[in-house]
Amino acid sequence: MVFAPIVILLVIAAIIYFVSASENGGVPEIAVLSEDQQVQAILQAEEEQFEVNTEITTVEDAETAMEAEELDGYLVVEEENGVYQGNYVYSPDSQDVDTYYLTGVLSSVQQIQQAESLGLTQEDIASILTPATLEQTRIEFEGGGITTTESAEDALRMGSAYAVGIAVFMFIMTYSSIIGEEIASEKGTRIMEVILSSVSSTIHFFGKLVAIVLICFTQIAIYVVLGAIALQLDFVQDLLQGIDISAIFQGLLGTSLAYFILGIVLYAILAAFLGSLVSKVEDVSKAVTPIVFLSLAGFYAGMFAFYNPTHMIVKIGSYIPLFTSFIMPFRVASDTVTTTGVMISIVGLILFVLLTTWLSLLLYRSSVLIYSDAGMFKTMKTSFKAMRRQQKV
Amino acid sequence: MLEAKHLKKTFGPLTAVDDVSFTINEGEILGMIGQNGAGKTTTFRLILDFLTSDSGEILWNGRPLTKADYNIIGYLPEERGLYPKVTIEDQLIYFGRLRGKSKKEVKPLIDMWMEKFKVKGKKTDKVKSLSKGNQQKVQLIATLLHEPKLVILDEPFSGLDPVNAGILEEGIKELRQQGACVIFSSHNMNNVEEICDHLLMLRDGAVVLKGPVKEIREQFGRTKLFLETPMSQQELNELPGVENVKKTNEGIYLLDLEDASYGKQIFDIVTKDGFIPTFSQQPPTLEEIFKLKAGEPHE
């Protein structure tokens, strides 16, 4: 359980590595069939996008080489009245060549040729060919003042929000099934009866919750330690070059952490309650289905918020306690929510957690001793009745 | 001392426990019998406060049982369950700690109890590797380890072979000596007859029999007569007061008498030629009473 996410990460990394390795199996090799020396010279100078095979000069040779998969394609360039026309020929087996780049090269050659034919000087040509520049500056209005942020930091914050979203989802899925199973198996084996003749159901309920949350923290602590160890390794440091680790941690700590913990606690309570409704461990997966759907919905709402942090659905969803943990981190990261909004959502979440705890506890004591194969709603109804009766006495 | 006074519990239209009262003094064993669904487990659950009674009360030494008393209770549920993946030792320590004992107190007791109940297996074995009977013994140990003062055993004998049932009987008698109040349910009348001081029979939630085992049996009169004699079944049938004659497998006749008072008359007749090996006039067995009571039409 602890290492599964790491294994998954490693597998994904390996897949990405192999895919990119197979794509970068050398740069594509093309032939340039043109009588224009300038075109030849410019294209031959290129090394990153492709390599030019200078030995092939005819279409026949090029096609033979392509059939033997020694060549990825060939470019035929013809010039007529100062207009360049290129035709890039490739086969399905070829590695992709950036044709925009080819177009760009041909365009600039054409422009230079035409400029020269118009009798412009080198300086004139240079100034004509210099592209206009566009810079982006983002400003934010906070506390009456205007602040500028760099977009790199922004991306990093969105990245850590993304990580929180995935982590919340993964932890909820793992721990809700664990806690549901724990309780259903204690109920199913009647150990619950022995336990409840020793301690109150409230203590048992909270004991289970605390235990699960502590396991969860242990798991996180293991990741932190592993991460700290990994940071000491040279190749990891190479990978992370240019990334500000402390910025990531700033994104992860603070409000995101609060959403993370509250989210897990909320779903753990729900799972404990749902687990108490079934009599057999086999039925647990059925019982925790609502949690699976809710957290899936939350997860996708979070993904949606990643792209549209200002959408109305996102705004509303972020204040629904069941989804807050998934959506709010993205809104915080994209700075589309005010501090007041954050506080409201956290307070709302805490209140909802307390309310859920209270309701679950009320029903828990009765539901945990009802053994019926009737559906969960029937059990809930029965335990509700039992609770009412108990309160009357 | 445990007192139950006029307990009543209904589930919708069904009355599970109807006006049940009993008292168990320290050092006494109460056996509860009754058919399936007679209300035995419900009564136990009422005692344990798992269920709230509609009316009536349960008193422990004159006051209601509270959470403070949890540590003196030993409860064996009807359906057995332990943590299958946990070792015997850890399991017993856990249950001991649930009842307020420290790990240090429990640890030395484990070997003693495992020896006493002759549990096959090491204490480092996981419970799922044990046979069903041995698992049950481990659970019994978990129930008794903390020397409870109020012991509630729901069908403790089910699933045990006669040897192990004997070990359990000894265990329960020991609890009595230690001054515990013991209440248990059973379908096996021999166990009940053997160990309990008082008997309570429930039928459809109501008490139909109550009192010391011997008294209950005597109450029905000594109408069973075991006889070993050379006389024929036909001749025996014609004896005064005889309702029915059966021949058992061992060649002993079992006579049902109309009334216990015919005993002396029959004794004189069957011994007129001198010695006979068996003449035993007895009250009906608990099992016969049980069947009789369970089958009786409702009043």
pLDDT at B183: 93
Is residue B148 located within the same domain as residue B232?
Answer: no
Is residue B87 located within the same domain as residue B105?
Answer: yes
Single out the residue of B32, B28, B34 nearest to residue B197, CA to CA.
Answer: B28
Three-class SS state of B285: coil
Written as six digits, the tokens of A322 are: 């069941």
Residue B291 lies in a domain: no
pLDDT at A148: 62
Report the CATH number that the domain containing residue A106 is assigned in CATH.
3.40.190
Is residue A65 located within the same domain as residue A210?
Answer: no
Residue B52: is its pLDDT beyond 60?
yes
Residue B177 lies in a domain: yes
* Gap between the terminal Cα atoms of chain B: 33
Residue B128: is its pLDDT beyond 90?
no
- Which of these three, B174, B197, B218, is where a domain ends? B218
Is residue A170 located within the same domain as residue A282?
Answer: yes
- Secondary structure tally for chain B: helices H, strands E: 10, 14
| Orientation of helix A339-367 relative to helix A255-275, angle to 10° | 20
Residue A13 lies in a domain: no
Which structural domain range is residue B33 located in?
2-218
Is residue B58 located within the same domain as residue B203?
Answer: yes
Q: How far apart are CA A377 and CA A356, in angstroms?
A: 17
Residue A355 lies in a domain: yes
Contacts of B141 in chain A (CB under 8 A): none
Stretches in chain A below the pLDDT threshold 50: none
Q: How far apart are CA B88 and CA B109, in angstroms?
A: 13
Measured between CB atoms, which of A188, A189, A197 is closest to B75? A197
Is residue A188 located within the same domain as residue A45?
Answer: no
Residue A373 lies in a domain: yes
- Tokens 């403070």 locate to B68
> What percentage of chain A exceeds 90 in pLDDT?
6
* Gap between the terminal Cα atoms of chain A: 45
Instruction: Please count the structural domains in chain B.
Output: 2
pLDDT at B254: 87
Single out the residue of B229, B202, B237 nearest to residue B33, CA to CA.
Answer: B202
Give the mutation candidate from B7, B10, B80, B98 for the A interface (greatest A CB count, under 10 A): B98
pLDDT at A374: 65
Is residue A211 located within the same domain as residue A318?
Answer: yes
Looking at the DSSP assignment, which residues form a beta bridge with residue B9? B17
Is residue A156 located within the same domain as residue A72?
Answer: no
Q: Above 0.90 for ipTM, yes or no?
A: no
Is residue B156 located within the same domain as residue B189?
Answer: yes
Is residue A269 located within the same domain as residue A374?
Answer: yes
Mean pLDDT of chain B: 86
Better-scored residue on pLDDT, B141 or B233? B141
Contacts of A190 in chain B (CB under 8 A): 77-81
Contacts of B85 by beta carbon, 8 Å cutoff, 6+ apart: B126, B127, B128
Among residues 353-372 of chain A, which lie with CB inside 8 Å of chain B? 369
CB proximity A202 to B under 8 Å: no
Which structural domain range is residue A87 located in?
27-129
pLDDT at B240: 84
Is residue A185 located within the same domain as residue A296?
Answer: yes
Residue A331 lies in a domain: yes
Q: Give the distance from residue A181's alpha carbon to the nearest chain B alpha carbon, in angstroms.
A: 13
Q: Give the distance from residue A207's alpha carbon to the nearest chain B alpha carbon, in angstroms.
A: 12
Is residue B23 located within the same domain as residue B154?
Answer: yes
Contact B70 A198 (CB under 8 A): yes
Is residue A81 located within the same domain as residue A172?
Answer: no
Is residue A281 located within the same domain as residue A344?
Answer: yes
What pLDDT digit, counting tens, does each position of B175-186 carry?
Answer: 889 889 999 998
Handedness of CA A46, A51, A53, A57 (dihedral sign): negative
CB proximity A193 to B under 8 Å: yes
pLDDT at A250: 67
pLDDT at A251: 61
Backbone angles phi, psi at B153, to 5 degrees: -120, 115
Q: Where does chain A have alpha helices with state H?
A: 4-23, 37-45, 59-67, 99-117, 122-129, 151-188, 191-196, 201-232, 234-239, 245-252, 255-275, 284-287, 289-307, 312-317, 321-333, 339-367, 376-392
Give the mutation candidate from A178, A185, A187, A194 for the B interface (greatest B CB count, under 10 A): A194
- Which of these three, B167, B200, B218, is where a domain ends? B218
Which range is most confident: A61-65, B85-89, B272-276?
B85-89
Q: How far apart are CA B94 and CA B92, in angstroms?
A: 5
Mean pLDDT over residues B219-247, rounded?
84
Instruction: Please count the structural domains in chain A.
Output: 2
Residue A190 lies in a domain: yes
Contacts of B79 in chain A (CB under 8 A): 189-190
Interface of chain B toward chain A, CB-CB under 8 angstroms: 45, 48, 50-52, 67, 70-71, 73, 75, 77-84, 95, 98-99, 142-143
Is residue A93 located within the same domain as residue A180?
Answer: no
Give the mutation candidate from B50, B67, B70, B90 for the A interface (greatest A CB count, under 10 A): B50
Q: How far apart are CA A346 and CA A20, in angstroms?
A: 42
- Which of these three, A129, A161, A186, is where a domain ends? A129
Closest-CA residue of A relative to B52 is A390
